[in-house]
A and B are shown apart, each in its own frame.
Chain A
Amino acid sequence: MAEPNETMTTASAIISFAEKLEEDSFRFYGELAEKYTEERETFLSFVKESEKNKVLLTRTYQETITDAIEACFSFKFLDLRDYLVETTLAEETNCKDALKRALEFEEKGSRFYMDVAERSRSLLATIPLAFRKVAEVRNKRKLKVKSLLEKLT
């Protein structure tokens, strides 16, 4: 995947970024499931969701990309750096800090999917639909992470 920067506008770059986001998610939550076993099931369900999200996004893109859509010019004014979150946790990170990072990750992820859904409204219906669906998954996850955080405080 190309390094994200403010000039990224191709559909391919957006999908690669989304795929990376989901890959980071299943790695990140996989680590949390191993480290913080009391919430293992919740984190593993996030891993599964992200795997499904990635399949959905890749499939939607591959099944709808044609020269009928302005694939190289659809996502202008999108700075992908705005959605980046560091997902590698230091060894000594406690559960609370890890959850705070998870919350930031979900917030930015959800915002990313809503932003690209908005920008792809003029494309085939399945494209914004897929982005919105993943944004909803991330929103629900955000609520779960929040409640886990509240349990700890």
Chain B
Amino acid sequence: MTVLEEPIKEVLTLRNYVGGDWVDSQGELIDVVNPATCKVIAKVPISSSDEIDAAVEAAKEAFPDWRRTPPLARARCLFRLKELMEKRFEELSRIQTMEHGKTIDESRGETRRGIENVEVATGIPSLMMGYNLEDVASGIDEYVIRQPLGVFGIIPPFNFPFMVPLWFAPYAVATGNCVIIKPSPHVPISQVKIAELVDEAGFPSGIWNVVNGAQTIASHMLDHRDIKGICFVGSTAVGRDIYRRCGETGKRVIAQCGAKNFLLVMPDADLERTIAACMTSFYGNTGQRCLSGANLVVVGEGLNEHEYDSFYEKVVNAFVDAASKIRVGYGLDESVQMGPVQNKHRKERILGFIQKGIEEGAKIRLDGRMAKLLGGWPHTCFLNPTVFEDVTPDMTIGREEIFGPVASIMRARSLDEAVEVIHRNPFGNAASIFTSSGKWAREFQYRVQCGNIGINIGIVAPMAFFPFSGMKDSFFGVLHGQGQEAVRFFTESKVVIQRWF
């Protein structure tokens, strides 16, 4: 076993990036720990509300000139940023593995997804165009102009330290706004590295700011009267609170929240490829994705009892067999397929769910609690894949978001029953169907109340030029991150009606 070279050689002391300067925070420094090795790799400050105020002031000051900067010139800053990200692609990816724990393939995938958003935002001269119509009345023309609003706050989660802020920030700055990003204190390094590249790319001061910290400053951002909107990705409880509070202060909100994603396997599914897709879905990123598969529903549509039992067993056995072969270890080891969870508290939470599953009567087919690892890493944050079968939708593990490498297999006799099970769950982030039938696929797509629908797809991750959708308790807001919707979110549509005497 050989581990790829770590790009962080000594403990970093992170600073805030405010008004184009690197600023030492007055806040307490806390450790950023590599969950695979348990070594401290950085110290991150927990900044104060005053430091957010300073960032907002810097952004406000920068806004008028940035807004007046031609869209093409703003796009050129993004082109330079993209080039720098490409140059540092490997380093940026390995840092994600070090701070988060995901495998190197997953980190590179995350880097790519992030860069793709920068690429899409470089198209702003076209994306931001308004529209017009002559002669809406005699001699009168009408048109729409899209204008930026000012300062936006971005509060990302811990599970995609590089990519998630890039669902928003490139579009915000491309449209002429300024941003303040508050990274998760568990995984702040990637955003600090991006800010270094922003600086190198020659963005004017105050356009792109990073203030490290925790809940207190996030809360302060919600109440700040000079912040025009908030982009949040995280839990439903927090997202709902953000939506309410931002409503009170008149802010725009994108709040992408929790999930409990169902994957249906129909009797005509290509089982080999379905199982391969399921492994990525349930165990990729160690299950810490809002798009991760959580419940695998084996559907017996059109089968008699005997045939259904046999089909169910076949799916369960294939799933358990594949999951049991997943190699777990440090993500910088290229032979590893699943890394640790991001921190030990997350692991304890997941263990609590597994215990609950056993207590509530689900049958544990693969027990990942005693982790077998490639390499002699401390077991602190590691788990192996776990599989439960005979899970019902009312059990805790069938109902709540676990956010870890735990699969719950359920039964449904028909597609109708499976769709009903999905709808009984409060979340509506993603759902997939594995089938060879166009009819079933269309029915699924038409009826299921989830924002992201997969047809023979395990991870329904929208590309940068499509919105990252979500419904029910998985999303609060109207417009979504990425692509055209992000452009609309970050701009006001001003209508002009014009007549010349």
Q: How large is the interface on A (under 10, 10 to 19, 20 to 34, 35 or more residues)?
A: 20 to 34
Q: Is the pair B280, A70 in contact by a Cβ cutoff of 8 Å?
A: yes
Chain B residue nearest in CB terms to A63: B112
B-contacting residues, A119-144, CB 8 Å: 122
Distance to closest chain B CB from A80 (angstroms): 10
Q: Which chain A residues (76-107) contact chain B, with CB distance < 8 Å? A: none
Whether a CB of chain A sits under 8 angstroms from the CB of B109 is yes
Q: Which residues of B contact A122 (CB under 8 A)?
A: 273
Check: B394 CB closer than 8 A to any chain A CB.
Answer: no
Quick one: which of B284, B335, B457 contacts A8, CB cutoff 8 A? B335
**What CA separation (Å) do A72 and B109 show in the bound complex?**
11
Is A11 part of the contact surface with B, judged by Cβ < 8 Å? yes
Query: In the complex, A122 Cα to B273 Cα: how many Å?
Result: 9
**Per-residue interface assignment for chain B, residues 253 to 280, with 1 indicating a CB less than 8 Å from any chain A CB and 0 otherwise:** 0000000000000000000010011011
Residues of B within 8 A of A61 (CB): 108
Q: Is B338 an interface residue (CB 8 A)?
A: yes
Nearest-neighbour CB distance to chain A for B305, whole angstroms, equals: 33
Chain A residues within an 8 Å CB radius of B337: 9-10, 72-73
From the candidates B116, B285, B334, name the one contacting A16 in the complex (CB within 8 A).
Answer: B334
Contacts known (A12-B104, A12-B108); A66 close to B113, Cβ less than 8 A: yes
0/1 string, B280-304, CB within 8 A of A gives 1: 1000110001000000000000000
Residues of A within 8 A of B104 (CB): 10, 12
Q: Is A65 part of the binding interface, using a Cβ–Cβ cutoff of 8 Å?
A: yes
Q: Which of B2, B105, B113 has the most CB of A within 10 A?
A: B105
| Closest B residue to A72 using CB positions | B337
Contacts A70-B276, A70-B280, A73-B280 known; A65 to B338 CB distance under 8 Å?
no
Query: Does A1 count as interface, using CB distance less than 8 angstroms?
Result: yes
The reply to whether B103 and A10 form a contact with Cβ atoms under 8 Å apart is: yes
Would you call B106 and A67 a contact (CB within 8 A)? yes
Contacting pair B284 A67 (CB below 8 A): yes
Contacts of B106 in A (CB 8 A): 67, 71-72
- Minimum C-beta distance from A113 to chain B (A): 19
B154 contacts partner chain A, Cβ-Cβ < 8 Å: no
B485 at the interface (CB under 8 A from A): no
- Point out residues on A near B: beta carbons under 8 Å: 1-3, 5, 7-13, 16, 61-74, 122
14 A-B interface contacts by CB (under 8 A): A3-B1, A8-B334, A10-B103, A10-B105, A10-B337, A12-B334, A62-B112, A67-B109, A67-B285, A68-B457, A72-B280, A73-B280, A73-B337, A122-B273
Query: With A71-B280, A72-B105 given, can you name 17 additional A-B contacts, CB distance below 8 Å?
Result: A2-B334, A2-B335, A8-B334, A9-B335, A10-B104, A10-B337, A11-B105, A12-B105, A65-B109, A65-B112, A66-B112, A67-B113, A68-B109, A68-B461, A69-B109, A72-B337, A73-B337
The 4 closest A-B pairs by CB, nearest first: A71-B105, A72-B337, A13-B334, A70-B280
